[in-house]
């Protein structure tokens, strides 16, 4: 009997979960430069308009806020209508945003472009994360890690040509052509995204303890587990975003930005080399830590990564004035905080189920928006102290605090949560 005669919808290439994962990764690669390439534009914008670095960095904060704080609503739409319409809107907004940035001749216009770009990136980011969580109940850490690896490593493919265009044609041309190209590719890839049916999914063979019931967003917001996760994400992401937004400024302060560095057969200015290599290490950490967490546990992996984050930031502050060490230690910093993007959504779905995964992970993702508020505070601290060491010390402390919360608070709370409710016993 044919699938149609039996009343079942026939399977197609688009119901293959690896195709779904690939489409999500492509979308994430295309939006990665909106965040990770921003640091390249700050200096040339300031050279042209002299608005001040702090005022220009407000655009970065606006981007992060709109990218994150609207994700729960966008996730609510995805959980009900499926991923395609939300991702399509995201692709359109991405192209519009950077096109607007290319002609922005005032701070309000620059801020508007940042807001539209943030909304578009949030539509794509939340949709692709939720889709990975739903299609891979047995490999949540790995699937989420591969998806967000696109967001982490994607800009490694564009940072060098983008830098070249900025140097030779101006930052306006880079905004316009990269924005349009990224928007078009997101739109095309989004056409492949689809919501999984029960018959499309494999048996849930996950090794980790996880809920057997889908908790609504309202229930999640009432859970202390969610808020511990939220605080941990806020701490680690705040430190990571500070490096993302200010790496170019740190390189100039250390007087290494344009110093040639030869590594791995390549010779590039230290800042350009760091920006490219950082994207790779940040991207590699996401599936690696996700895969590791599928085997040794989410909380254990978090503690390892946060401890590495504290150590790498400390080392960067001490030895980063050397051009080669600047490149290598910056890469270690970005490796250590790359896992945030894979572990927190997977952990949230383990605790609260996949039925509302896009919305629930989106609510947790808003911690990134609150963390972005901390980014502009770095400039006053640097001006007050004369160097970046205070900022680095605070970032080290934030990672240490998150590691302590993970091992001393989150893990015992999760065990008690699962024991206390019959419906939450491991499957």
CA distances from 410 to 225, 234, 405 (A): 7, 15, 6
> Tokens 């572990």 appear where?
343
- Please state, in angstroms and rounded to a whole number, the distance separating the CA atoms of residues 70 and 88: 16
**Are the C-beta atoms of residues 74 and 93 closer than 8 Å to each other?**
no
Pairing of β 266-269 and β 260-263:
antiparallel
What is the reported pLDDT for 320?
93
- pLDDT at 89 exceeding the cut of 90: yes
pTM of the complete model? 0.79
Per-position DSSP letters for 211-245, written without gaps between them: -SS---HHHHHT-HHHHHHHHHHHHHHHHHHHHHH
What is the reported pLDDT for 2?
40
What is the reported pLDDT for 231?
96
Please give the DSSP secondary-structure letter assigned to residue 388.
S
- Residue range 140-190, pLDDT digits in tens: 889 999 998 888 777 777 877 888 899 999 999 999 999 999 999 999 999
**Residue 209 pLDDT grade (very low, low, confident, very high; cuts 50, 70, 90):** low
What is the reported pLDDT for 11?
54
Q: Which of 146, 121, 126 is nearest to 136 (CA)?
A: 146
The whole-chain average pLDDT of the chain stands at 87
Please give the share of the chain, as a percent, with pLDDT higher than 90: 52
208-227 burial string, b = 16+ CB within 10 Å, else e? bbbbeeebebeebeeeebbe
Where along the chain do its domains lie?
14-197+208-421
**Residue 354 pLDDT grade (very low, low, confident, very high; cuts 50, 70, 90):** confident
Q: Which of 149, 130, 150 is nearest to 289 (CA)?
A: 149
Structure tokens at 100: 């607007």
Task: Provide the total of helices (H) and of strands (E) in the chain, helices listed first.
Answer: 19, 2
- Please state, in angstroms and rounded to a whole number, the distance separating the CA atoms of residues 336 and 325: 16
Structure tokens at 24: 């999500």
- Please state, in angstroms and rounded to a whole number, the distance separating the CA atoms of residues 408 and 402: 10
- pLDDT at 321 exceeding the cut of 90: yes
- pLDDT at 9 exceeding the cut of 50: no
φ, ψ at 321 (rounded to 5°): -70, -20
Q: Report the half-sphere exposure of 173 (CA within 13 A, side-chain side).
A: 10
What is the reported pLDDT for 97?
95
- pLDDT at 399 exceeding the cut of 90: yes
Best CATH choice for the domain 14-197+208-421 from the list 3.20.20.70, 2.30.30.90, 3.30.70.920, 1.20.1250.20: 1.20.1250.20
- pLDDT at 326 exceeding the cut of 90: yes
Please give the DSSP secondary-structure letter assigned to residue 16.
-
Please give the share of the chain, as a percent, with pLDDT higher than 70: 93
**Residue 360 pLDDT grade (very low, low, confident, very high; cuts 50, 70, 90):** very high
DSSP-based three-state secondary structure for 295 = helix
What is the reported pLDDT for 375?
81
- Residue range 287-318, pLDDT digits in tens: 999 999 988 888 999 999 999 999 999 999 99
Structure tokens at 118: 């943030």
DSSP-based three-state secondary structure for 144 = helix
- Residue range 15-49, pLDDT digits in tens: 789 999 999 999 999 998 888 788 889 889 999 99
What is the reported pLDDT for 300?
92
φ, ψ at 262 (rounded to 5°): -110, 115
CA distances from 405 to 126, 225, 408 (A): 26, 11, 5
Q: For residues 202-208, give the mean pLDDT.
A: 62
Q: For residues 361-379, give the mean pLDDT.
A: 86
- Contacts for 128 with CB less than 8 Å, ≥ 6 apart: 24, 25, 27, 28, 83, 87, 147, 150, 193
- Please state, in angstroms and rounded to a whole number, the distance separating the CA atoms of residues 427 and 412: 19
| Residues belonging to the chain | 427
- Please state, in angstroms and rounded to a whole number, the distance separating the CA atoms of residues 276 and 159: 6
Q: At what angle are helices 140-153 and 340-352 packed, to 10 degrees?
A: 150
Q: According to the per-residue pLDDT averaged within each range, which of 353-357, 372-376, 404-408 is highest?
A: 404-408
- Residue range 213-224, pLDDT digits in tens: 788 999 999 999
- Please state, in angstroms and rounded to a whole number, the distance separating the CA atoms of residues 250 and 326: 10
**Residue 423 pLDDT grade (very low, low, confident, very high; cuts 50, 70, 90):** low
**Are the C-beta atoms of residues 93 and 190 closer than 8 Å to each other?**
no
What is the reported pLDDT for 205?
55
Q: For residues 232-237, give the mean pLDDT.
A: 94
- Please state, in angstroms and rounded to a whole number, the distance separating the CA atoms of residues 366 and 136: 23
What is the reported pLDDT for 101?
94
DSSP-based three-state secondary structure for 322 = coil
**Dihedral angle sign, alpha carbons of residues 243, 248, 252, 257:** positive
- Residue range 236-251, pLDDT digits in tens: 999 988 888 888 889 9
What is the reported pLDDT for 237?
92
What is the reported pLDDT for 68?
84
């Amino acid at each position: 009997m044919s699938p149609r005669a039996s009343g079942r919808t026939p399977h197609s290439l688009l119901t293959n979960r690896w195709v779904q994962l690939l489409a999500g990764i492509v979308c994430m690669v295309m939006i990665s430069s909106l965040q990770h390439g921003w640091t390249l534009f700050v200096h040339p914008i300031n050279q042209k308009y002299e608005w001040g670095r702090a005022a220009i960095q407000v655009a970065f904060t606006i981007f992060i806020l709109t990218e994150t704080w609207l994700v729960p609503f966008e996730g609510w739409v995805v959980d009900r209508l499926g991923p395609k319409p939300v991702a399509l809107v995201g692709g359109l907004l991405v192209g519009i945003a950077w096109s607007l940035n290319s002609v922005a001749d005032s701070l309000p216009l620059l801020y508007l472009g940042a807001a539209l770009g943030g909304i578009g990136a949030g539509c794509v980011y939340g949709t692709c994360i939720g889709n990975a969580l739903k299609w891979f109940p047995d490999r949540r850490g790995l699937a989420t890690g591969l998806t967000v690896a696109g967001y982490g490593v994607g800009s490694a493919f564009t940072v060098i040509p983008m830098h070249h265009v900025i140097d030779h044609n101006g930052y306006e041309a880079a905004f316009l052509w990269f924005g349009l190209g990224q928007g078009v590719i997101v739109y095309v890839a989004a056409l492949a995204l689809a919501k999984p049916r029960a018959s499309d999914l494999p048996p849930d063979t996950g090794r980790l303890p996880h809920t057997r019931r889908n908790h609504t967003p309202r229930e999640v917001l009432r859970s202390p587990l969610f808020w511990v996760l939220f605080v941990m994400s806020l701490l680690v992401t705040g430190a990571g975003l500070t490096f993302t937004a200010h790496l170019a400024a740190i390189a100039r302060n250390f007087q290494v930005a344009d110093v040639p560095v030869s590594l791995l057969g390549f010779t590039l200015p230290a800042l350009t080399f760091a920006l490219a290599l950082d994207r790779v290490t940040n991207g590699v950490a996401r599936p690696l830590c996700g895969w590791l967490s599928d085997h040794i546990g989410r909380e254990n992996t978090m503690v390892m990564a946060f401890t590495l984050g504290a150590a790498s930031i400390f080392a960067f502050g001490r030895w980063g004035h050397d051009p080669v060490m600047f490149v290598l230690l910056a890469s270690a910093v970005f490796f250590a905080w790359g896992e945030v993007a894979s572990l927190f959504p997977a952990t949230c779905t383990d605790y609260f189920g996949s039925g509302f995964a896009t919305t629930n992970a989106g609510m947790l993702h808003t911690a990134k928006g609150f963390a972005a508020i901390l980014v502009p505070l770095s400039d006053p601290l640097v001006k007050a102290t004369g160097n970046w060491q205070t900022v680095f010390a605070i970032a080290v402390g934030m990672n240490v605090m998150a590691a302590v919360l993970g091992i001393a608070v989150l893990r015992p709370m999760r065990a008690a949560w699962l024991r206390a409710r019959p419906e939450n016993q491991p499957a």
